[in-house]
Amino acid sequence: LAPAVNNNVIASILGIVVGVTPPLRAAMFEPGGALFVLVDAADIISGAAIPQVIIILGASLAHGPEHSLCDRRTALSIAAVRLAAMPLLNVGIFLGLRATLPAAAVPSSPAFWLVFLVEGAMPTANNMMLQVQMFGSPAAAGGVGA
């Protein structure tokens, strides 16, 4: 149960509680609310989150992968699935949703289409490093870039 109760899960649960509690939501997100200054400060601080994650990811992968943990065939198979099969699956899902749902239910914006495809093809090095660090496997950390 301990790995399931981490900071991300706790933050998600707190976000849901704040979202479904009107007085708390008003205090935090309406200008002039009692807790608005905290949310505003968190918004300013969060502007540095993405650059910080990119720097940490680069530092984690700086020495390259430990090739003995993953052979070439496995690495190429993972890359093919992640960078070719997943985008094709996303295209199929999008086209299927567009064909079955009313036009208003599926966004037709080119920006939506681009984000949908990029998310399906996104490399997972950042997610893998996060999991390795959460579960403390130094041996697996060397094979993340493989």
Highest mean pLDDT among 67-71, 88-92, 132-136: 88-92
Give the Å distances, CA to CA, from 143 to 60, 61, 74, 100, 124.
11, 9, 12, 42, 13
Question: Residue 48 in contact with residue 54, Cβ under 8 Å?
Answer: no
Q: Which two tokens stand for residue 23?
A: 């007085």
Look at residue 143 and tell me whether its pLDDT is greater than 80: no
User: In terms of pTM, does the model score above 0.75?
Assistant: no
User: Residue 146 pLDDT more than 50?
Assistant: no
> With contact defined as beta carbons under 8 Å apart, do 129 and 61 qualify?
yes
CB atoms within 10 A of CB 107: 14
Q: Taking 90 as the threshold, does the pLDDT of residue 37 lie above it?
A: yes
The alpha carbons of the chain give a radius of gyration, in whole angstroms, of 20
pLDDT tens-digit series, residues 109-126: 878 777 777 777 666 655
Long-range Cβ contacts of 127-136 (<8 Å, 24+ apart): 129/56, 129/57, 129/60, 129/61, 134/3, 134/6, 135/3
Instruction: Pick the closest to residue 126 from 146, 107, 145 (CA basis).
Output: 145
Q: What is the pLDDT of residue 140?
A: 54
Q: What value does the mean pLDDT take over residues 76-89? A: 83
Asked whether the predicted pLDDT for residue 52 surpasses 80, the reply is yes
Q: What is the pLDDT of residue 145?
A: 45
Percent of the chain residues topping a pLDDT of 90: 14
Determine how many CB atoms are found less than 10 A away from the CB of residue 19: 12
